[in-house]
Structure 1
Amino acid sequence: MPTTMKGPAIFLAQFAGDEAPFNTLPSIAKWAAGHGYKGIQIPSGDARLFDLEKAASSRDYCDEITGLCAEAGVEITELSTHIQGQLVAVHPAYDAQFDGFAPEAVRGNPKARQEWAVEQMKLAARASRNLGLPGSVSFTGALAFPYLYPWPQRPAGLVEEAFSELGRRWKPILDVYEDAGCDVGFEIHPGEDVFDGATFEMFLDAVGGHKRCMINYDPSHFVLQQLDYLAFIDIYHERISAFHVKDAEFNPTGRQGVYSGYQGWVDRAGRFRSLGDGQVDFGGIFSKLAQYGYDRWAVLEWECCLKHPEDGAAEGAPFIDHHIIRVTEKAFDDFAGSGTDRAALRKMMGIG
């Protein structure tokens, strides 16, 4: 039976803050519903909104969270573990920058930080099970990304060893998600070792084709790489378990291209925009996803270098709602069907 995707929904990470209505889950859920959103994607590590450890151990707490969301008029779409997943694998070049993502107790200690991140991922699996969620979204982290450009020449085997290690770290985590009945939709994202289709295939091989290793599809990161984001759906649709609806634009000049010359976001050739302000062909994307039977959530991830976030949020729900295709249960030319049987078909072809 054809199924229409769910939405609109909104990722709360870019909106959560210390002031109302963005500082508690009940208030931000009501804010989201007030803008027309039917779902919210929760950053699992934000203690202002969610207690991950409690959710992993208490179904009563999860029932309470589900209930307060329903009272506000929204559902939980997924738990996000982008921050924790990032810290599962950190190249030493990024230690100082990523320490800020970790609790103070493990900063300056890469081994302890990684152990914390792995445990967080496992807690999120159990919390997702207790919430009845079939999927989550995350990052893979990176060991090879500093060597992205092939100069100086990479030593033979460096990339292969990086992905082997990435697989060793992630497979036991994915096994916990299998036990929880929950997918991990990895956001294909520069800065992660998994940043395009080729690297996703390498990662999938490294985790033994694990059934819980899925994709959080976000076309904005493909625009900035000049990757064919519609063909990506054709190739990987069976692995797409989540969808971040985010816009972007790429305007190369005589001075900069995909690397954008170390410029700030406003001055980059490639930059993120609010929905409808960029170059992403969302009509094509929603059509492709409908064609392949994508039936989970369409979730706004708002990032824009120009527009105010509250304007982006207000515009996002009707934009997504307009693009969701209500999938038909019958063919448009059913009215012309002749209802012929096998004998009639053979007769039409002159087969005795």
Structure 2
Amino acid sequence: MSKLTTIKGPSIHLIQYLRDTPPYDTLDGLAGWAASIGIKALQVPVDPRLIDIHRAASDQAYCDALKATVAKHGVEISELSSHLAGQLIAVHPAYDTLFDGFAPKEYQGNPKAKEEWARRVLFDSAKASKRLGLKAHATFSGALAWPYFYPWPQRPAGLVDTAFKELAKRWLPILDAFDEAGVDVCYEIHPGEDLHDGVSFERFLKYVNNHRRANILYDPSHFVLQQLDYLSFIDIYHERIKIFHVKDAEFLPDGRQGVYGGFTEWTDRAGHFRALGDGQVDFKGIFTRLTKYGYDGWAVLETECAFKNPEVCAVEGAEFIKRHIIPVASGQFDDFAGSGVSKDGIRRVLGLD
């Protein structure tokens, strides 16, 4: 068993709170707001309103200033996240127009230019993360095979392997750059991405030669919606879990819809996200397992509730995470009853001497 470690937290993923009005329009404002509700760290999206990722890649003074900006509020940066850029590393043509808004306007309508922009963002995110003293980075894998996730019509032989070989080819130089920076790339295992469950993650690992920097952003809400055993997932992949999004969900199928949701809106789907504590996720089980396996990263609040006000979700969520973090024990509960037998006496106890 790994050494027990107290999970750090709460942190908060800022992407759902970034707006054009104070205090949600600047890193300084968001840091002050987050600190006021008990948040200890920020997962900062690579958005020009919060960070100039290209400058951060080469300017240590700029990175030090960013850290100082949040530190004056008593918080720190837990990770950077590049979900939008990660998505653009691999986009099936069916989704190209829909993902146009993920890139700056000058690259929209040009798939190759969007991919090249995304690559620059990822390479600079590796360098910036190192300068900021971070150990993990959150992103998406992108998707080439996702339109074919359900095998009808029958998938041509080799289609999936070809897609994953290409995905690995695009990511390997980026993974190497993060390895040079000493930072883990944590793919959010997420429907819509080619890395959406354990089997697809393993397939990717095979083609990136089990790259040590290819790791997991664990979010149980996405597993509830696809009816995957999210506790067993931790048992299987805990060595690769380096970032943890704390997000709740519920799955309520009926006689009219199930996992696929019937093209309905979020509030009407059988599966949807909820505020922490309002859904079905067994967070006691999750925090216990992650603690057991020595997860030493942050518990990062993410808010995508279909019903509740996001500011209320943040206030309630910060307290929810604090209640679930387990301060680890310094010894065994029955140490008081120890026999006192030394290693030299073990053979005698067994009757072997």
Letter in 1 for 2:320: F
Distance 1:31 1:235 in 2: 37
Identity %: 60
Distance 1:11 1:70 in 2: 17
Q: How is 1:315-330 mapped onto 2 (pairs within 5 angstroms)?
A: 315-330=316-331
Superposed CA deviations along residues 116-165 of structure 1, whole A, max 9, x for unmatched, are 11111001001101101011100000000000110000000000000000
Partner of 2:33: 31
Partner of 1:348: 349
Q: After TM superposition, give the deviation of residue 348 of structure 1 in Å.
A: 2.7
In structure 2, do the counterparts of structure 1 residues 342 and 38 end up closer, same or farther at CA, with 3 Å as the change threshold?
A: closer
Letter in 2 for 1:229: Y
Q: Is the 8 A contact 2:168 2:207 kept in 1?
A: yes
- The TM-score, its normalising length taken from structure 1, stands at 0.98
Q: After TM superposition, give the deviation of residue 202 of structure 1 in Å.
A: 0.5
Distance 1:161 1:148 in 2: 14
Superposed CA deviations along residues 230-281 of structure 1, whole A, max 9, x for unmatched, are 0000000000000000000000000000001000000000000000000000
Partner of 1:126: 127
- The TM-score, its normalising length taken from structure 2, stands at 0.98
Partner of 2:92: 91
Distance 2:290 2:339 in 1: 31
Q: After TM superposition, give the deviation of residue 51 of structure 1 in Å.
A: 1.2
Partner of 2:188: 187
Superposed CA deviations along residues 187-244 of structure 1, whole A, max 9, x for unmatched, are 0000000000000000111111100000000000000000000000000000000000
Q: After TM superposition, give the deviation of residue 345 of structure 1 in Å.
A: 2.8
Q: After TM superposition, give the deviation of residue 341 of structure 1 in Å.
A: 2.5
Partner of 1:199: 200
Q: How is 1:204-219 mapped onto 2 (pairs within 5 angstroms)?
A: 204-219=205-220
Partner of 2:112: 111
Distance 1:247 1:2 in 2: 25
Letter in 1 for 2:174: I
Letter in 2 for 1:80: S
| 3-state SS of 1:238 partner | helix
Partner of 2:228: 227
Q: After TM superposition, give the deviation of residue 2 of structure 1 in Å.
A: 3.7
Distance 1:113 1:344 in 2: 68
Q: How is 1:49-60 mapped onto 2 (pairs within 5 angstroms)?
A: 49-60=50-61
Partner of 2:338: 337
Letter in 2 for 1:205: K
Letter in 2 for 1:350: G
Q: After TM superposition, give the deviation of residue 328 of structure 1 in Å.
A: 1.1
| 3-state SS of 1:216 partner | strand
Q: Which runs of 5+ in 2 are unaligned?
A: none
Q: After TM superposition, give the deviation of residue 104 of structure 1 in Å.
A: 1.1
Q: Is the 8 A contact 2:4 2:293 kept in 1?
A: no
Q: C-alpha root-mean-square deviation of aligned residues, in Å? A: 0.9
Q: Which runs of 5+ in 1 are unaligned?
A: none
Partner of 1:159: 160
Distance 1:241 1:289 in 2: 10
| 3-state SS of 2:244 partner | strand
Q: After TM superposition, give the deviation of residue 343 of structure 1 in Å.
A: 4.9
Q: How is 1:39-54 mapped onto 2 (pairs within 5 angstroms)?
A: 39-44=41-46, 46-54=47-55
Letter in 1 for 2:104: P
